[in-house]
A and B are shown apart, each in its own frame.
Chain A
Amino acid sequence: MQQVNERKITRRMNIRILRNDISKYIFLLSTLFGLAVLSILIYRIFSEGVGSFNLDFLTGKLSTQPERAGIMGAILGTAWLMFVVAPVTMFLGVGTAIYLELYAKKGFLQSFIQTNIANLAGVPSIVYGILGLTVFARAMDFGNIVLAGGLTMSLLILPIVIVASQEAIRAIPSTLSEASYGMGATKWQTIQNIILPVALPGILTGAILALSRAIGETAPLVVIGIPALLIPFPDGIFDKFTVLPMQIYYWTLDSALLAEYANLAAATIIVLLIALFILNSTAIMIRNKFQHKF
């Protein structure tokens, strides 16, 4: 039997430990790389945009002159879009989740719907745009109004809301619903009075995160055809509209011709990032404060 050569091992050991230490720092650097880019990105956007970011910009109308342009129309458009997207996705998403988790029998239909939702989550957003263009904007003849954009966006984020709601419902221990059945409550009464209230924080967290995806999404709206023209402020879901990401898109393209537009785009990004920050903090707050722990 071969004896262990202690000296040889000690010598090899030093190299191995050294390799381990070096690679540890390479791995750490890779982790930091993403964060470094993130800081540069945020620094760049604020340094470019902060000069244009003021009250006139926030409350002003679009203008052909960069120094007079404002984004109130885009802010209102985004708000109206969310006014459509939020209720539609909540209703459809939670409804589907309740069906799949509480009513559907394990079997072909249930697993078919489940697989289908997983596949939908991976469909590129621009394909949803084409669906919206063909079905809502053209076949239903809505044109490029808030309702068409909102329904398209709703379909886009629906898988996220469904999956989040399913997880929230699944996390409820069965003792709760069994206690409710034991008291003589029917299934729907149990869902209404026990399951939904308990699952609500989880559902809301998921829904808010999905909304923040919809707020930043551009591609489907480009496809539906949101104009770069000056349009009046939208007053309802049947008006033509523009949203913050669309404004960023057009101003970024214009910045190749006139550098000031880059500042406007950056200032609009600041507004968008602030909106996302508020939404995400709300979601985290709801999760931490109201999430039931079992």
Chain B
Amino acid sequence: MLNINSNVPQKNDVRIRELIEEKRQSRNFKGIVEKLIPSFLLVIATLSILTTAGIVYTLLSETVQFFKRVPFLDFFTGTALKPLSQTPEFGILPLLMGTITSSLIAMVVAGPIGLMAAIYLSQYASERVRKVFKPLLEILAGIPTIVYGFFAFTFVTPLLRTLIPGLEATNILSPGIVMGVMIIPMIASLSEDAMSSVPSSIREGALALGSTKLEVTKKVIIPAALSGIIASFVLGISRAIGETMIVTIASGSTKNFTFDITQSMQTMTAYIVEVTGGDAPAGSTVYYSLYAVAMTLFIFTLLMNIGARKISRKFREEY
């Protein structure tokens, strides 16, 4: 052991030199490790970029193949999708219709309910109530989508059919509603964050002037938190567009181009499931259409997510 307060300095001096020498030798190895680790971690970190590159590359290369066989305009303006027919037609409009319809239905449910829940939690509820309700609501977001699919198919659809006689066994309405329920916690929690971050001085100022809580919410909080609320809605729509299992199970695979929400419609995601489940031979046009649809889906959701981030960043700069 090294003893700094020792009375025999010469002896210790030698010992310290030895120690320093020893240390230097071991540091050589450690120094190499120390230098290698950042590069090693950088390689790991770039893997996420590689994932994006992989997604874009696979989608793009096969989509290009698809557009060599099916003209670009036919794909985006075609109202008929008959991939397996004798005279196949590849129009994406029926799928876009199904996707947009189901997302709109989901937002009709999730938008108002999620927003009102956010208002209640951020403006009216006591701390204790919020601490109980918020985690309970989060459970809804944690339930696997396949469970919602089961729920839509075996409970919501039969229930709706007793209310709406013309409803088909598979329809776009029921999965739309259930998707809405799934998105409620997302909108509620993001909107609540936006409303809670409005400075309380603004809120208290309005209350002190004699406004009721409702008036404060309507005229002060919501305008101030508007960009955050809009961002939460955009993210909700993006989530609904990318949702797969609920619509696959409960809306069937009829490629209807219609506005009738009581009928079965197929979304882009459900089409991907149908084609991959049907073992389309690699290299066929049907197989390539899978990638063209997935590319469209990817671009849709990517733009919405980037948009939502832009909107909410703008809102953060306000105060």
- Residue positions of A touching B, CB distance < 8 A: 16-17, 19-20, 23-24, 26-28, 30-31, 33-35, 37-38, 40-41, 44-45, 48, 91-92, 95-96, 98-100, 103-104, 112-113, 116-120, 122-131, 133-135, 138, 155, 158-159, 162, 186-188, 212, 215-219, 222-225, 245, 248-249, 252-253, 255-256, 262, 265-266, 269, 272-273, 276, 280
Q: A19-B214, A187-B34, A215-B144 are in contact. List 7 more A-B contacts (CB 8 A).
A: A30-B113, A31-B121, A34-B185, A40-B155, A41-B155, A96-B44, A216-B146
In contact, A100 and B45 (Cβ under 8 angstroms) = yes
Contact among A30, A131, A212, A219 for B54, CB-based, below 8 A: A131
7 contacts between A and B (CB under 8 A): A41-B155, A128-B55, A134-B62, A187-B34, A188-B33, A219-B244, A276-B142
Give the nearest-CB partner of A19 in chain B.
B214
Interface residue SS majority, chain A: helix
Distance between Cα atoms of A120 and B48 in the complex (Å): 8
Interchain CA distance A222-B276 in the complex, whole Å: 8
Kindly identify which residue among A19, A127, A262 contacts B297, using a CB–CB cutoff of 8 Å: A127
Contact check, B120 vs A28: say whether CB atoms are below 8 A apart.
Answer: yes
B146 touches A218 (CB 8 A): yes
Asked whether, in the complex, the Cβ of B298 is within 8 Å of the Cβ of A123, the reply is yes
In B75-91, the 8 Å CB interface with A consists of: none
Assess A248 versus B242: contact at CB under 8 Å? Given A17-B212, A123-B55, A130-B58.
Answer: no
Ranked 5 nearest A-B pairs via Cβ = A216-B144, A124-B242, A27-B120, A122-B305, A30-B116
Q: Are B47 and A92 in contact (CB under 8 A)?
A: yes
| B302 CB contacts on chain A under 8 angstroms | 119, 122-123
CB closest residue in chain A, given B244: A219
Q: Are A186 and B214 in contact (CB under 8 A)?
A: no
> Given contacts A95-B41, A103-B38, is CB(A186)–CB(B46) below 8 Å?
no
Q: Does B272 contact A (CB under 8 A)?
A: yes
Do the beta carbons of A134 and B244 come within 8 Å of each other? no
List A contacts of B297 (CB < 8 A).
Answer: 124, 126-127
Interface string of B286-301 (1 = CB under 8 A from A): 0000110010011001
Q: Most chain-A Cβ atoms within 10 A of its Cβ — which of B55, B153, B185, B290?
A: B55
Q: Are A218 and B294 in contact (CB under 8 A)?
A: no
Instruction: Assess whether B14 is interfacial by the CB under 8 Å rule.
Output: no
Does B163 touch A at the CB level, under 8 Å?
no
Q: Which residue of B lies closest to A272 (CB)?
A: B144
By the criterion CB–CB under 8 Å, are B41 and A218 in contact? no
| Contacts A34-B113, A119-B52; A24 near B277 (Cβ below 8 A) | no
Give the chain A neighbours of B144 by CB distance below 8 A. 215-218, 245, 272, 276
Q: Indicate whether B70 reaches chain A with its CB closer than 8 angstroms.
A: no
Given contacts A31-B116, A188-B37, contact A272 B147 (CB under 8 A): yes
**For the complex, what is the distance from the CA of A98 to the CA of B45, rounded to whole Å?**
9
Task: Please state if A249 and B298 are interface contacts (CB–CB under 8 Å).
Answer: no
Closest to B147 in A: A269
Query: A residues within 8 A CB of B124?
Result: 24, 27-28
Task: Give, as a whole number of angstroms, the nearest-CB distance from B152 to chain A.
Answer: 10
Given A34-B184, A262-B154, A116:B301 Cβ within 8 A? no
A248 touching B150 by the CB < 8 A rule?
Answer: yes
Q: List the interface of chain B (C-beta within 8 A of A).
A: 30, 33-34, 37-38, 40-42, 44-49, 51-52, 54-55, 58-59, 62, 112-114, 116-117, 119-121, 123-125, 133, 136-137, 139-140, 142-151, 153-155, 169, 181, 184-185, 188, 212-215, 235, 238, 241-245, 248-249, 269, 272-273, 276-277, 279, 282, 290-291, 294, 297-298, 301-302, 304-306, 309
In the complex formed, the residue of B with least CB distance to A96 is B45
Q: How far is the CB of B79 from chain A (nearest CB, A)?
A: 24
In the complex where A19-B214, A120-B51, A186-B30 touch, is A133 in contact with B150 (Cβ < 8 A)?
no
How far does the Cβ of A20 sit from chain B's closest Cβ, in whole Å?
A: 4
- A40 to B117, alpha carbons, bound, how many Å? 19
Nearest CB to that of B59 among chain A residues? A130
Q: In the complex the two chains form, is B146's CB within 8 Å of A27's CB?
A: no
CB-based contact A127/B55 at 8 Å:
yes
A13 to B167, CA, bound (A): 47
CB–CB A131/B48 < 8 A = no
Looking across the interface, which residue of chain B has its beta carbon closest to that of A247? Answer: B146
**A33 / chain B contacts, CB cutoff of 8 Å:** 113, 117, 184
By a CB distance below 8 angstroms, the chain B residues around A280 are 142
- Residues of the A chain whose Cβ atoms lie less than 8 Å from the Cβ of B133: 31, 35
Q: Is the CB of A225 within 8 A of B120?
A: no
Give the residues in chain A near B62, CB-CB below 8 Å. 134
Chain A residues, CB < 8 A from B279: 225
Q: Give the residue of B45, B188, B238 whose beta carbon is less than 8 angstroms from that of A99.
A: B45
What is the chain B residue whose CB lies nearest that of A279? Answer: B142
Are the C-beta atoms of B150 and A130 separated by less than 8 Å?
A: no
Q: In the complex where A20-B213, A216-B144 touch, is A119 in contact with B137 (Cβ < 8 A)?
A: no
A48 to B41, CA, bound (A): 49
Residue contact B113 to A126, C-beta cutoff 8 Å: no
CA gap between A122 and B148 in the complex, in Å:
20
- Chain B residues contacting A222 (CB-CB under 8 Å) are 244-245, 248, 273, 276-277
Contacts A27-B116, A217-B144; A104 near B298 (Cβ below 8 A): no
